[in-house]
Structure 1
Amino acid sequence: MDSGAIRRRLAFGAAVLAASGALAFTAAGTAQAATAGGCAGREVRTLPFRTGVTHVYKHHGFVCAVTLAKHPGRTQTMSVSVQARGNLPVVDKGRYKHHAGPVTVNAGHRCVWIRGSVGRSTVSSGWILC
């Protein structure tokens, strides 16, 4: 084998290694993004309020919501609920340091009502995603 063939094989091997490393970093970043809020799918609404924010995600007819505290760290009362029209709300309420939820419901093509709270401050969406 001549030195040109050896260089080509080494260059090809380095390119394959670099591509696999880039793919591994991309896959790890995607997995992190999917679990950061605890909800799958794409974010369709952000509902900010004085002491926090409620993020709403949708994926194949499922609606998921999570409420994050604006100032995490100390334990405080938080809640998040998702109600598909015609059903009872699914609620996560308790004393948390960072977030309440995620809460997921199978909404199909029905409207949903999202509520979130941190401390005494709340947010309510009204019927959305109809």
Structure 2
Amino acid sequence: MDSGATGRRLRGRLALAAAVLAVSGALTLTATGTAQAAGSSGACAGRVVKTLPFKTGVTRVYQRNGYVCAVTVAKDPGAARTMSVSVQARGNRPVVDSGRYRYHAGPVTVHAGHRCVWIRGAVGRYSVSSGWTLC
């Protein structure tokens, strides 16, 4: 067998393996990192474990397999206004989604494991803060 062809095949397989490892590593960091911002659909995976109402909206908190997700929804959607939501697992920095939105801020997801989390939400000048919870 031609050693040149064998070498090209081996290099091709090594390149493919390296690409697969790079992609799987990126997915692992995204899935198991301390935080990730979820899609913009306004929905979190899991079950609702806490509802934090305030004058201009509500922040809903979901939990699933050690992950905590939160989304802040305006009571009167329509005009774009300042909204935010944040989730902080104890010992980590908060993960925040803030900006001018019409309907909701978030969802924002963190891996909390069995640690307490602090959830904050705001719509306009009104806000809510949970304190350490879900311990």
TM interval, shorter chain, is 0.7 to 0.9
> Displacement, 1:97?
0.2
Highest Rg: 1 or 2?
A: 1
CA RMSD in angstroms comes to 1.2
Residue 84 (1) aligns with residue 92 (2):
no
SS at match of 1:46: strand
Instruction: State the identity as a percent.
Output: 74
* Matched residue, 1:104: 109
> Displacement, 1:38?
1.4
Q: How does the TM-score come out when normalised to structure 2?
A: 0.69
CA distance in 2, matches of 1:57, 1:109: 14
* Matched residue, 1:54: 59
Structure 2: gaps spanning 5 or more residues:
1-39
CA distance in 2, matches of 1:57, 1:81: 13
Spell out the pairing of 1:20-99 with structure 2 (5 A cutoff): 37-99=42-104
Report which stretch shifted further, 36-45 or 73-82: 36-45
Tell me the number of residue pairs that the alignment of Structure 1 and Structure 2 aligns.
Answer: 96
* Segments ≥4 residues shifted beyond 3 Å: none
> Displacement, 1:36?
6.8
Residue 129 (1) aligns with residue 130 (2):
no
SS at match of 2:93: coil
CA distance in 2, matches of 1:119, 1:48: 14
Question: 1:23-48 deviations in whole A, cap 9, x for unaligned?
Answer: xxxxxxxxxxxx97410000000000
Greater RCO between the two (CA within 8 Å, min separation 6)?
A: 2
Change (3 A) 1:94 1:36: closer
Question: 1:95-128 deviations in whole A, cap 9, x for unaligned?
Answer: 0000000000000000000000000000000000
Structure 1: gaps spanning 5 or more residues:
1-34
